[in-house]
Amino acid sequence: MTKSGGATRTDGIHQALRADILAGRLSPGGRLKFPDLADRYKVSVGATREALTRLVAEGLVVARPRLGYLVRPLSQRDLAELTQARVEIESLVLGLSVREGDTRWEADAVAAHHLLERTPYRDPADPDHLADEWSQAHAAFHHALLAGCGNQRLLDAARSLRQEAELYRQWSVSIGNEPGRDVAAEHRALLDAVLARDAVHAQELLRDHIAHTARLLISCAPEQPDQAG
Amino acid sequence: MTKSGGATRTDGIHQALRADILAGRLSPGGRLKFPDLADRYKVSVGATREALTRLVAEGLVVARPRLGYLVRPLSQRDLAELTQARVEIESLVLGLSVREGDTRWEADAVAAHHLLERTPYRDPADPDHLADEWSQAHAAFHHALLAGCGNQRLLDAARSLRQEAELYRQWSVSIGNEPGRDVAAEHRALLDAVLARDAVHAQELLRDHIAHTARLLISCAPEQPDQAG
DNA sequence: TAGCCCCAAACTTTCGAAAGTTCAAGGAAG
DNA sequence: CTTCCTTGAACTTTCGAAAGTTTGGGGCTA
């Protein structure tokens, strides 16, 4: 009964690996060698393999048959594509959510926003990176906004794209925030529009919210990032 | 040089397994045991494992930790959710495609339609199931319609949902087609609207096209399918 | 007779090594 | 000096068995 519910060993390395990638501890474009990983996470090659297979499905890792796995590389072109996909899909789902969500959903959204508001943006111990708690609260807030639609497949599609964007977000914090931007205010406005059941306005705000970071990254970083992890 | 390009052993069983599931040779809800599969496809347990992991990511198989894998079960509730997701996402992508697609895209769509039109619907040797060629041509046609948008992530999202729907389509052919329905005419109308760059009309036609089969299934099969494979 | 516990079989998970492939450096020929 | 071939090391892929977990049945108790 050491592992209650359904937690297998592969789940362990899977989550650890995902956390390390999203936190920037494994740099985009970097190779993921089985000997290194198996040693780092104290599991066998087989377990590592399955974890990587899952991460490929999530879009965080790319596989080249017989040539190994690597952390998904970042590029402006890819960011542009990802941003378009997010704008289209997240605003679609938000529209459904605002129209179909019930009171319980409203309450969850308010709660998630409250939590996000009180969570520090940067890690006090490591100001170059986002605080893990903030990333988590941020993801939870956006998920809560969309959850009203009640369609698991649509929610999964949106979550998958948002997770990929997390890779870029991590990069954005190191080049500093846009002067005059107030992310907290954007979240507040988004919540207000949602609670007012103003789907069109909420979609507009969400579009801007998503496109904002993307624009910042594209303008500030004309070249590929190349940091060693 | 026996395996040119990048075809690994796991790819083999992965595709074979997917084909068997989509063709109904492995029945929805049925368990997928490692000993059986490893024997059936002449590979080791490890390879089978990785193939199943991928299929889980594709949504064709569900995993219950320590309890084994099974082919995704079918249900009316799930079909309704899947249909809504398809209607929303495919019509969204079709709209983008019609607005952004170039001439090359038009040509590909016409070609795909031509191919679909000349492919027999049922397998002459096995009239209870769809012909594999038709399924393939059908998927290619719908993909061609959406491909104009040029966004790989949006295309993947649409393809993934359509592949899941394939499970249900397989089921639909066995209960017979709706009287008076002319699928070929629907495809023709869809192509015409797309070529005329009438996004709104094309979206409307696609919505009906998707919802049609779903409605048929829900009305004709009030209970769970339970066929042995 | 109903309910509970224990045991055995079947299956999933995990592992580490063997087999096969790619990449790059070094040397030989033109 | 350049190009091609050889050779070796590092890595990926594949496998089959050992270890651990769940399930179902049989027997015991109330």
Q: For B70-89, how does the pLDDT look when each residue is reduced to its tens digit (9 = 90+)? A: 999 999 999 999 999 999 99
Query: Do A89 and B89 lie within an 8 Å CB cutoff?
Result: yes
Residue A223: pLDDT over 80: no
Residue A179: pLDDT over 70: no
Closest CA-bearing residue to C1' of D20:
B66
What is the C-alpha to C-alpha distance for residues B125 and B144, in angstroms, rounded to an integer?
A: 29
> Which chain A residues are Cβ-neighbours of B85 within 8 angstroms?
151, 153-154, 157
Q: What is the distance between the terminal CA atoms of chain B, rounded to a whole angstrom?
A: 37
Q: Which pairing describes strands B61-64 and B126-130: parallel, antiparallel, or unpaired?
A: unpaired
DSSP code of residue A123: E
Give the pLDDT confidence score for residue B121 in this predicted structure.
85
CB atoms under 10 Å from CB of B165, counted, come to 20
The pTM of the full predicted model, rounded to 2 decimals, is 0.91
More reliable by pLDDT, B180 or A89: A89
Q: Of A96, A37, A35, A83, which Cα lies nearest the Cα of A61?
A: A37
Q: Of B145, B149, B134, B137, which Cα lies nearest the Cα of B107?
A: B145
DSSP B21-50: HHTTSS-TT-EE-HHHHHHHHT--HHHHHH
Give the pLDDT confidence score for residue B4 in this predicted structure.
37
**Count of CB pairs separated by less than 8 Å, A with B:** 73
Which residue from B minimizes the CA distance to A63?
B6
Give the residue ranges with Cβ < 7 A from strand C. Answer: A 8-10, 43-47, 66-67; B 2-3, 31-35, 45-46, 49, 63, 65-69
* Nearest-CB residue to B6 (from A64, A81, A157): A64
Using 50, 70 and 90 to split pLDDT, how confident is the model at A174?
low
Query: Do B152 and A81 lie within an 8 Å CB cutoff?
Result: yes
Spatial distance from the CA of B98 to the C1' of C28 (Å): 60
Using 50, 70 and 90 to split pLDDT, how confident is the model at B59?
very high
A33: the nucleotide nearest its CA (via C1') is D11
Spatial distance from the CA of A209 to the C1' of D1 (Å): 59
Q: Under an 8 Å CB criterion, which residues of B touch A?
A: 5-8, 11, 46, 49-50, 53-54, 56-58, 64-67, 81-82, 84-85, 88-89, 92, 96, 151-154, 157, 161
Residue A2: pLDDT over 50: no
Give the pLDDT confidence score for residue B3 in this predicted structure.
36
> Which chain A residues are Cβ-neighbours of B157 within 8 angstroms?
85, 89, 157
More reliable by pLDDT, A223 or A124: A124
Query: Do B96 and A88 lie within an 8 Å CB cutoff?
Result: yes
Give the pLDDT confidence score for residue A227 in this predicted structure.
39
Contacts from A38-44 at CB under 8 Å and sequence distance 24+? A41/A12, A41/A13, A41/A16, A41/A17, A43/A9, A43/A12, A43/A13
Using 50, 70 and 90 to split pLDDT, how confident is the model at B207?
very high
Write out pLDDT tens, residues A187-222.
999 999 999 999 999 999 999 999 998 888 887 764
* Nearest-CB residue to A85 (from B56, B64, B154): B154
For the record, the structure tokens of A89 come out as 């899909």
Spatial distance from the CA of A44 to the C1' of C16 (Å): 8
Residue A105: pLDDT over 60: yes
Write out pLDDT tens, residues B5-31.
568 999 999 999 999 999 889 999 999
Q: Nearest-CA distance from B109 to chain A in Å?
A: 22
Query: What b-and-e string marks burial along A142-179, b requiring 16 or more CB atoms within 10 Å of the CB?
Result: bbbbbbbbbbebbbebbbbbbebbbbbbbbbbeeeeee
Give the pLDDT confidence score for residue A127 in this predicted structure.
74
Spatial distance from the CA of A49 to the C1' of D3 (Å): 39
| Contact partners, residue B165, CB within 8 Å, separation at least 6 | B82, B83, B86, B210, B213
Write out pLDDT tens, residues B98-114.
999 999 999 999 999 99
> Which chain A residues are Cβ-neighbours of B152 within 8 angstroms?
81
Which residue from B minimizes the CA distance to A91?
B92
Residue A131: pLDDT over 60: yes
